[in-house]
Chains A and B, each alone.
Chain A
Amino acid sequence: MKDEGKISPAQLRILMVTIILGTTVLFMPSLVATAARQDSWLSMILGVAGGYLEAAVVLALGKRFPNQSMVQYSEAILGKFLGKILGLAMILYLILFDLIIVREFGELLVLAIMPATPITVFIVLILLLAVYASTAGLEVIARTNEVFFAPTIVVILLIFILAAKDFDLGNLLPVLENGPAPVLKGTLPTLAFFGEIGLVGFLYPKINNPGQIPKATYQALAITGGIMVMDMVAVLAAFNPESASRIILPTLVMAKNIRIAQFIEHLEALVVFIWISSVFIKITVFLYAAALAANQWSGLNRQRFLNWPLAAILAPLAIYFVPNSLALAKFIEKTSFPVLYAGEIGIPLLLLIVAAIRGKREVSGHEKAQK
């Protein structure tokens, strides 16, 4: 009867789908289209492939240390001192990631529905909600996600279907006009987004039935990959590559353009409405992961409490770290991507290589000491 606070692989699967889709559906198409033009959907497929590679690395680590998170086993692999430094880096990476999402969230709300409201209001409120859900535990977050998941997917698919009458698949031609270079360039931002699958490494010990985790993770990537490729194709077909790269939120504009029977219109409100819930889940899971990591790193055993200082750091940073949305876009592209690559792919890969060389695995006695 006691709450263990663990989630099932099935819950993990849709949690990861929501996390990745939360920001990608709206923000990624134009980022990719800037570089890869009409071949953006190819970049998207490559990005998913990158996500699979990363998932494989994280899952291999998880298999070695089934009862520990990345922060915990980095000490076992690299030794106490280096491990602690790397652990801190991971916490900072999680905070930075959450920071970007929170700010993006606020920017979009100001842009899309409430231009007169200061961004502070959105950021503070969503962080309060996130702290509320995060202190309640991963199980509660996963269940909340289960409630919102079906409507989210339905709305996304509905938009594709209703917008389909404006599609011109000719926009996708010619394929590989300028060779593979633009496609690869376009893959870079997608890697950062699909790399979010690495979060599994932090949540690993909080999932029951570890044997099912790889399957759930790969399925999550397949679902998100499928939807994102569809989204990219839809955006390219609805606009042309030129305008797709110039519109900041092409998916939203696509929804806005839907007009049927003079009554079904302004579906972007519905998209924003449902999008708030996905991004809320995403912000909360990152906050939860950061609190979990900070708790394991510090050994304080105060995970619920740690949400508060983390949110208190996040709120002012999110409000002031860049002056406006243009600066945010620039920051994301120039500064954050390298950091995100390092956090998502660099750290797990490093850990896996060192672990493989030193032959580190979880020791059963050690396992109890960790708990």
Chain B
Amino acid sequence: MLKKILKLFGRPSSPSKKGSAQTGNQGHNTVLTPISPDLQGNVLEMRHRIGQSGDIVFRTILVQIDRPRQVLLVYTEGLVDKTLLSTGVLKPLLLGAQTLRQRGGIGRKDPLEKIRDLLVAVGEVTEAATIDEVLNNIFFGMIALFMEGMDKALLLNLVLWEDRAVDEPETETVVRGPREGFIETLRVNTSLVRRKIRSPHLRIEFLRLGRITHTDVAVAYIDGIANPEILAEVRRRLERIDIDGILETGYIEEFIEDEPYSVFPQIFHTERPDVVAAGLLEGRIAILVDGTPFALLIPAVFAQFLQSPEDYYERPHIAVWLRLVRYGAFFITLTAPSLYIALTTFHPEMLPTALAMSVAAGREGVPFPAFMEALLMEATFELLREAGLRLPKPFGQVVGIVGAIVIGEAVVRAGIVSPAMVIIVAIAAIASFAIPVFSMAIPPRLLKFPMMFLAASLGLFGVMVGLIAITVHLASIRSFGVPYLSPIAPRGSMKDVVLRTFWWAMIRRPPLIGKYNPTRQRHPVRPHPPREIQPQEKPFQGTRGDRQNER
């Protein structure tokens, strides 16, 4: 993997046909500055380029090789391993003459080659010929080694920077399942995926996006399972991106999605390696970006957003039930306030009589029409939610208490809002939290306002108009060629949508996404208790594995 990074490093300035990795370098300097044999000239050129930046270290030492030569080390403070720098680079260089004499390397011509082959104790060493190349690489944590009289520089890879520990992701917790989550370092994230899928078919391709940030982006897929057409499309769309900086996968998501104006997320994101691994095994393609723990999964379908990784780890019975609950939650978030408005304003006769009576009694004395009442409560709730979310935790609790007292008690006591309305808003709010992926909790949360408006003006018909419009919209969008509502519409295998069948029954990969290589289980077996051994039957000869071991 590092080799792949280095490969990119090796040719950052050559005008490549692939273009993607190089988009970042174009535009700055079209004329490249070669490294001069004069050390001072190089220093001046670099100082000129980086300006007043104080985090770049220039260190000159004298090394005895064929003759005493000045050697210049340039690196970024904080991005290199300082221990290794002193033990693996500085020390051997300073003791250079002695070592060289012992190892008989004096006869060789190129002093840089001598340093590379005989002195420095660094795993990855490459050469650079231009100042531009050197500058690009030292910002990635490489150490540049210049030598007086040489028009080349060595790039030593001693990259090490501060990482967050691999931790349980806070946004996607599970009761049962792995507890690790991605962190902000791309190399760690790719290793987490690699650790789950130990196959040569797992391909992780790197490219660099962001004209100024030069952010590393990894495209991961399993060769032979991922659909090559979709993969080509992903590459094409990624190469189209031309922006100064990529700070989060959200940037990329917006650049490569199919329907930019839709409220619905068309690309799945996760911070769990196991979810990415499962997606890859289903034939999806993952995009990981350096600097963020969130990975993208492509293509995404609607049903995916109402699934939790735990569905696959816990027994299917509960998974099916929880999925039903989540579909219900989605529907309730979207329609609870509008149904309340429609029923109380237009169709009170449709409620059971006793219920209609108590709702009407609660509404007595309330000065607003149901629509205003609902709008007021929803707005208050949005305020509370936002206020509680951004505050430090202790304050957040205070907001919660104030909200509960203000909304739950005072507003009702003062007769401004009816108790039924408070219940409805609370149910809608709780339902929105039951949607497992936050980005899918957003569409119903936003769409409920137009739904409320439709309900207030047209009653149940308005609600239905809203639902139909949303369904038509959902039916019309696609994620990288895969219809968003599949496999509900167009109908495909429903084994893993609302239902989650047993693992031994999910013989094929999800339709459309995994169609390139649909078979997940070659010899599906339903588990069963051991069958009684008949007396005539042959004695147990061991499983296939046992026999192979004997051989």
Q: What residues of B have a CB within 8 angstroms of the CB of A280 in the complex?
A: 468
A6 to chain B, nearest CB (A): 11
The answer on a CB contact under 8 Å between A143 and B485 is: yes
Q: Is A263 an interface residue (CB 8 A)?
A: yes
A287 to chain B, nearest CB (A): 13
Alpha-carbon distance A141/B233, docked complex (angstroms) = 26
Q: What residues of B have a CB within 8 angstroms of the CB of A126 in the complex?
A: 465
Alpha-carbon distance A74/B96, docked complex (angstroms) = 93
With A10-B491, A129-B465, A269-B460 already in contact, the answer to whether A148 and B349 are too (CB < 8 A) is no
Alpha-carbon distance A114/B461, docked complex (angstroms) = 9
Within 8 A of A (CB), among B322-365: 346-347, 349-352, 354
Alpha-carbon distance A119/B295, docked complex (angstroms) = 51
With A1-B233, A144-B471, A144-B475 already in contact, the answer to whether A262 and B488 are too (CB < 8 A) is no
A22 to chain B, nearest CB (A): 13
With A132-B469, A146-B491 already in contact, the answer to whether A122 and B461 are too (CB < 8 A) is yes
Q: What residues of A have a CB within 8 angstroms of the CB of B483 in the complex?
A: 143
Q: What residues of B have a CB within 8 angstroms of the CB of A11 in the complex?
A: 490-491
Q: Is A272 an interface residue (CB 8 A)?
A: yes
Interface size on B, residues (CB 8 A): 33
How many A-B residue pairs lie within 8 Å, measured between CB atoms? Answer: 90
B355 to chain A, nearest CB (A): 8
A366 to chain B, nearest CB (A): 31
Nearest residue (CB) in B for A264 is: B352
Of B230, B350, B471, B478, the contact of A269 (CB 8 Å cutoff): B350
With A1-B229, A113-B460 already in contact, the answer to whether A129 and B350 are too (CB < 8 A) is no
With A10-B491, A140-B476, A266-B350 already in contact, the answer to whether A114 and B459 are too (CB < 8 A) is yes
The answer on a CB contact under 8 Å between A269 and B485 is: no
Alpha-carbon distance A128/B465, docked complex (angstroms) = 10
Alpha-carbon distance A262/B460, docked complex (angstroms) = 22
The answer on a CB contact under 8 Å between A113 and B347 is: yes
The answer on a CB contact under 8 Å between B460 and A272 is: yes
Q: Is A175 an interface residue (CB 8 A)?
A: no
Q: Is A8 an interface residue (CB 8 A)?
A: yes
Q: What residues of A have a CB within 8 angstroms of the CB of B233 in the complex?
A: 1
A207 to chain B, nearest CB (A): 13
Q: What residues of A have a CB within 8 angstroms of the CB of B471 in the complex?
A: 144, 147-148
Cβ proximity bits B471-489 to A, threshold 8 Å, 1 near / 0 not:
1101110101101010011
The answer on a CB contact under 8 Å between B472 and A266 is: no
B383 to chain A, nearest CB (A): 32
Cβ proximity bits A112-150 to B, threshold 8 Å, 1 near / 0 not:
011001000110011001001100110011111111100
Q: Is B458 an interface residue (CB 8 A)?
A: yes
Q: Is A276 an interface residue (CB 8 A)?
A: yes
The answer on a CB contact under 8 Å between A147 and B475 is: yes
Q: Is B241 an interface residue (CB 8 A)?
A: no
Of A1, A114, A144, A269, the contact of B468 (CB 8 Å cutoff): A144
Which range contains the number of A residues in contact with the other chain?
Answer: 35 or more
Cβ proximity bits A1-20 to B, threshold 8 Å, 1 near / 0 not:
10100001011000000000
Q: Is A102 an interface residue (CB 8 A)?
A: no
Q: Is B464 an interface residue (CB 8 A)?
A: yes
With A125-B465, A263-B352 already in contact, the answer to whether A273 and B485 are too (CB < 8 A) is no
A106 to chain B, nearest CB (A): 10
The answer on a CB contact under 8 Å between A147 and B476 is: no
Nearest residue (CB) in B for A272 is: B460
The answer on a CB contact under 8 Å between A133 and B490 is: no
Of A1, A125, A266, A269, the contact of B458 (CB 8 Å cutoff): A125
Q: What residues of A have a CB within 8 angstroms of the CB of B488 in the complex?
A: 146-147
Q: What residues of A have a CB within 8 angstroms of the CB of B474 in the complex?
A: 147
The answer on a CB contact under 8 Å between A109 and B461 is: yes
The answer on a CB contact under 8 Å between B464 and A277 is: yes
Alpha-carbon distance A148/B491, docked complex (angstroms) = 12
Nearest residue (CB) in A for B465 is: A125
Q: Is A265 an interface residue (CB 8 A)?
A: yes
A16 to chain B, nearest CB (A): 15
The answer on a CB contact under 8 Å between B472 and A136 is: yes
A135 to chain B, nearest CB (A): 10
Of A113, A122, A137, A262, the contact of B352 (CB 8 Å cutoff): A262
A41 to chain B, nearest CB (A): 31
B185 to chain A, nearest CB (A): 34
Cβ proximity bits B437-466 to A, threshold 8 Å, 1 near / 0 not:
000000000000000000000111100110
A285 to chain B, nearest CB (A): 13
Q: What residues of A have a CB within 8 angstroms of the CB of B229 in the complex?
A: 1
Alpha-carbon distance A145/B485, docked complex (angstroms) = 12
B483 to chain A, nearest CB (A): 6
The answer on a CB contact under 8 Å between A146 and B490 is: yes
B482 to chain A, nearest CB (A): 10
The answer on a CB contact under 8 Å between B475 and A140 is: yes
Q: What residues of B have a CB within 8 angstroms of the CB of A114 in the complex?
A: 346, 458-459, 461
Q: What residues of A have a CB within 8 angstroms of the CB of B230 in the complex?
A: 1
Interface centre among B352, B471, B483 (most CB of A within 10 A): B471
Q: What residues of B have a CB within 8 angstroms of the CB of A3 in the complex?
A: 478
Q: What residues of A have a CB within 8 angstroms of the CB of B468 in the complex?
A: 129, 144, 276-277, 280
The answer on a CB contact under 8 Å between B458 and A133 is: no
Alpha-carbon distance A148/B470, docked complex (angstroms) = 12
B353 to chain A, nearest CB (A): 8
A163 to chain B, nearest CB (A): 18
Interface centre among A113, A121, A143 (most CB of B within 10 A): A143
Alpha-carbon distance A10/B474, docked complex (angstroms) = 20
B456 to chain A, nearest CB (A): 13
Alpha-carbon distance A144/B472, docked complex (angstroms) = 6
The answer on a CB contact under 8 Å between B491 and A140 is: no
The answer on a CB contact under 8 Å between B352 and A265 is: yes
Q: What residues of A have a CB within 8 angstroms of the CB of B481 in the complex?
A: 1
Q: What residues of A have a CB within 8 angstroms of the CB of B458 in the complex?
A: 114, 117, 121, 125
The answer on a CB contact under 8 Å between B459 and A113 is: yes
With A129-B465, A136-B476, A262-B352 already in contact, the answer to whether A144 and B460 are too (CB < 8 A) is no
Nearest residue (CB) in B for A11 is: B490
Alpha-carbon distance A119/B265, docked complex (angstroms) = 37
- CB-defined A-B contacts under 8 Å, sample of 20: A1-B229, A113-B460, A114-B459, A121-B458, A125-B458, A136-B476, A137-B476, A140-B472, A140-B475, A140-B476, A144-B472, A146-B491, A147-B485, A147-B489, A266-B351, A269-B350, A269-B460, A276-B464, A277-B464, A280-B468
- Beyond known contacts A129-B468, A144-B489, A147-B488: 16 more, CB 8 A cutoff: A1-B229, A1-B230, A11-B491, A109-B461, A129-B469, A129-B472, A132-B469, A133-B472, A140-B472, A141-B472, A144-B471, A144-B472, A144-B475, A146-B485, A147-B474, A266-B352
A-B complex: 6 closest residue pairs judged by Cβ atoms:
A146-B489, A143-B475, A143-B489, A1-B481, A140-B476, A136-B476
Give the A-binding residues of B (Cβ under 8 A).
229-230, 233, 346-347, 349-352, 354, 458-461, 464-465, 467-469, 471-472, 474-476, 478, 480-481, 483, 485, 488-491
Give the B-binding residues of A (Cβ under 8 A).
1, 3, 8, 10-11, 109, 113-114, 117, 121-122, 125-126, 129, 132-133, 136-137, 140-148, 262-263, 265-266, 269, 272-273, 276-277, 280
